[in-house]
Amino acid sequence: MLRYILIRVLYFIPTLLGISLVVFFLSKNTPGDPVDKFMDEDLDTFESFESRQKRRAAIVKDLKLDRPNFYFGIKKDRNGTYPILPKLQWHGLNNQYHNWFFGFLKGNFGNSYFDRQPVTDRIWSSLKWTLLINLVSIFLAYAIAIPLGVFSAGKEGSMFDKITGLILYALYAVPAFWIATLLITFLASTDWLYWFPAGGVGNLDNGFSNWQIFKNTVWHLTLPIFCVTYIALTFITRQVRASMIDVLSQDYIKTAYVKGLNKNEVLWKHGFRNSLFPLLTMFANILPATIGGSVIIEIIFSIPGMGRLAYDGLLQQDWPMVFTITMLGALLSLIGNLIADISYTIADPRVSFSKQSK
Amino acid sequence: MEKINNNTFLRKLKNSKSGRFSLIIIFLFFIIAIFGDFLSNEKPIFCVHEGTSYFPIFNSYAHECGFSNIKHPDYTKEWREIEFEKVLWPILPYSGYTTDLKNKFKSPFQEKIIVDGFGKHPFGTGALGKDVAAGIIHGTRIALLVGICSMFIAGIFGIFLGGIAGYFGDNKIKLSWIHMLLFLPFLLLGIYWAYISSFNIGHAFWQLLIGKLILFFSLFIPLAFAEYLCSTFNIEKSLSLPLDLILMRLIEIVNSIPGLLLLFALLAVIEFPSVWTLIIIIGLIRWTTIARFVRAEMLKLREIEFVQSAKVLGLSSLRTIFLHALPNALTAVTITIAFGIASAILIEASLSFLSLGVNEDTMTWGKMLSYARQKPSAWWLAIFPGLAIFLCVYSFNNIGDILSKKSD
């Protein structure tokens, strides 16, 4: 088992490197010149070509864009063409990729192209909102899905099972952004019911008590959390039901019935406990999925989370923001998958590596 | 083993109530997508003006294909302002982008200002008086186009990579050190010659073609040479190529980045987004699901007798994979493609809801939903396009689900 866990952790590194290479490659191919965004063009005063070039060079140096892209490169000929046999050139560790990737690992995410401030603080605070919404939603989804799944597995084929199955199945096809739009239309507009705010997280000033701030935040986050919960709910319920049906067909469940235990005791004590492990480890797999799903919910409800920040970055052509958040999302989901696999191995040591990867 | 063909698929779908319902819905959507221009258009289908007869819709088709010029009886006027002797209008005399400034944001039940018979909007209107029903009809085409074409791309990648990785696994392709010695440097050299160092041979097309040829030969000749050396000097093939491992790492890389964030990162690179770039992007993201399914099927299939006997008969590996094994994985592929179309339609809708992806004047379901965000009181803008997305996604999901159930 220890060997499996070690191998699993070692696999984490090449995947992360692969993702960082893909993201870096994309970030180098974005349209537009980043230096232009840092040149303060003043059309009223005349600026000589030389001084412009000098200013440009200073910005390039400041952004470290004069460094080579990667650890090694291919050298050009003297007349600027590539020779038939390539000449490799080693650039050393002070290159753009190295600086970017290790800066990312150290938590230094670079400067925004839009307001030129370091993006680190904004990204950390956005991570807080995203994690808050997702964790609360997943918790709620579990709290609803477990009883639903267990009861519909216990009464497999009954009316209750069929109806919940049908409703959840239909809900699975309902896009979350449609639900969000409908909720805003009917519950958060002055024309219909005005029960909830249409967006924002309700930043209150310091003058309010903690209880008021908490109440206000809950009031603002109810609709978005409902939407994210509903994304996770349909999936978790189906998994709970499938996992329970699997357990309920085992011999010891029949033994428990023959022993004369009542149905609820069999379901919860013997059935549910044994189907618990895959459900708990599933949590780590669900987190990345809901983070992906909550992006659009954050945008609709104007919550300053990761999704909103990445979207704004995309519209403002603020590439460091977009690509840092992409990396961060990938890192989160990699860690989630790692935790899921490891906890699954600890819960069920029979899992071997080859079986897992299937 | 069950012989699988289209008939079993259809029978499976027809035997369940929801399967029939989904089939009918998808059939209707296809009809709307194909004949959408004749159902809703600001031009008449047929008209007679001052003794000359026109077929404006066919005429615009011919114009798009380059056969004919646009014929218009009176260029100073809109089609609906012209008085015709005889005219046959489509059911909805509006295109998705036709504006009706007298009826802005009118609900289906509200009284509208009707001029000369125009202005009846059965599903209401959006900003600038654009007709909701016409928008849904024109959005259908985009949704199905994106869903099917992107899954076509994803299917090609997924089936090919998944099939090869599943069949060969980690240790079926054996190579000797000579292969490695010759192959790796020439792979890198080939890429260098084909893409970085440029041979100046006139036209860009020839340059591209020659690049591809150079890449192909610089892979093929060293490999053939290594194979020849191996067979003449009896060199043991002791290294194995971990194709499966490589594919699974690749899939993990693509799947690790949360869906919409990956789309944002890819869209950042594209300067002029259109429906086709969107289709390619979705295809490049969604192939992983198909590859995983095909790989899992292949792992099972390669142990079955008929695949083994194909191998014993001396058929080449590629022939065994694509002509003997893969046709039996057709069910798995169809299921993932059905689910894939649903998810591609959802991705397209959510991107155009965020006004990313397709360009401004293309009318899509997601874009119509985003109008509802601009004016929350317009419930009809939120309900009808959303319902169209829901029906389409539900039907494709349902078909995938029914096919994935074991037959009795």
pLDDT tier for residue B408 given thresholds of 50, 70 and 90: very low
Cα–Cα distance for residue pair B406/B408, rounded to 1 Å: 6
Question: A288 — contact with chain B (CB < 8 Å)?
Answer: yes
Q: Are residues B127 and B27 in the same domain?
A: yes
Task: Please say if the pLDDT value at position A351 is more than 70.
Answer: no
Instruction: Classify residue B94: in a domain, yes or no.
Output: no
Instruction: Classify residue B26: in a domain, yes or no.
Output: yes
pLDDT tens per residue, range B143-192:
999 999 999 999 999 999 999 998 888 887 777 777 777 778 888 887 77
**Domain CATH code at residue B279:** 1.10.3720.10
Q: Are residues B186 and B162 in the same domain?
A: no
A-B CB pairs within 8 A amount to: 155
pLDDT tier for residue B13 given thresholds of 50, 70 and 90: confident
Instruction: Classify residue B313: in a domain, yes or no.
Output: yes
Of chain A, the end-to-end C-alpha distance in Å amounts to 18
Q: Are residues B141 and B183 in the same domain?
A: no
Give the pLDDT of residue A357. Answer: 43
Q: Are residues B362 and B405 in the same domain?
A: yes
Q: What is the mean pLDDT of residues B53-78?
A: 79
Q: Are residues B224 and B134 in the same domain?
A: no
Nearest chain B Cα distance for residue A141, angstroms: 20
Domain boundaries, position B74: 42-89
Q: Are residues B272 and B372 in the same domain?
A: yes
Q: In chain A, helix, strand, coil percent, each to 5?
A: 70, 5, 30
Lowest mean pLDDT among A166-170, A306-310, B71-75: B71-75
**Chain B from 1 to 40: CB within 8 A of any A CB:** none
In B46-131, alpha helices (H): 56-65
Give the pLDDT of residue A96. Answer: 86
- Per the structure block, which two tokens stand in for A162? 């069929």
Q: Are residues B256 and B334 in the same domain?
A: yes
Give the pLDDT of residue B119. Answer: 66
Name the average pLDDT for chain B: 82
Note if the pTM is more than 0.90: no
Listed as own residue / partner, the contacts of A269-277 with beta carbons closer than 8 Å and 24 or more positions apart are: A271/A150, A271/A153, A271/A154, A271/A244, A271/A247, A272/A146, A272/A150, A272/A244, A272/A247, A274/A247, A274/A250, A275/A240, A275/A243, A275/A244, A275/A246, A275/A247, A277/A344, A277/A347, A277/A348
Q: Are residues B397 and B338 in the same domain?
A: yes
Q: Are residues B114 and B248 in the same domain?
A: yes
Q: Are residues B269 and B223 in the same domain?
A: no
The residue among B192, B217, B240 that closes a domain is B240
- Give which of A16, A75, A181, A291 to mutate to test B binding, by max B Cβ within 10 Å: A181
Lowest mean pLDDT among B1-5, B72-76, B327-331, B355-359: B1-5
**Highest mean pLDDT: which of A47-56, A198-207, A304-313?**
A304-313
The residue among B194, B213, B240 that closes a domain is B240
pLDDT tens per residue, range A303-342:
888 889 999 988 888 888 889 999 988 988 888 888 878 8
Cα–Cα distance for residue pair B193/B199, rounded to 1 Å: 8
Instruction: Classify residue B390: in a domain, yes or no.
Output: yes
Task: Please say if the pLDDT value at position B3 is more than 60.
Answer: no
Angle between helices B275-301 and B243-256 (to 10 degrees): 140
Q: For chain B, how many structural domains are there in total?
A: 3
The residue among B89, B118, B152 that closes a domain is B89
Strand, helix or coil for residue A293: helix
Question: B189 — contact with chain A (CB < 8 Å)?
Answer: yes
Residue given tokens 């009181």 in the structure block? B377
pLDDT tier for residue A356 given thresholds of 50, 70 and 90: very low
- Per the structure block, which two tokens stand in for B301? 């299939």
Does the distance separating the beta carbons of A14 and B377 come in below 8 Å? no
Question: A182 — contact with chain B (CB < 8 Å)?
Answer: yes
Cα–Cα distance for residue pair B7/B14, rounded to 1 Å: 10
CA A54 to chain centre: 42
Instruction: Classify residue B289: in a domain, yes or no.
Output: yes
- Residue B50, CA distances (Å) to A107, B58, B77, B300 in order: 74, 20, 15, 71
Lowest mean pLDDT among A205-219, B10-24, B321-335: A205-219
Task: Please say if the pLDDT value at position A169 is more than 50.
Answer: yes
Task: Please say if the pLDDT value at position B376 is more than 80.
Answer: no
Q: Are residues B378 and B232 in the same domain?
A: no
Instruction: Classify residue B292: in a domain, yes or no.
Output: yes
Residue given tokens 């489509």 in the structure block? B90
pLDDT tier for residue B282 given thresholds of 50, 70 and 90: very high
Does the distance separating the beta carbons of B369 and A325 come in below 8 Å? no
Q: Are residues B366 and B268 in the same domain?
A: yes
Neighbours of B163 (CB within 10 A): 23
- Per the structure block, which two tokens stand in for A260? 């004369």
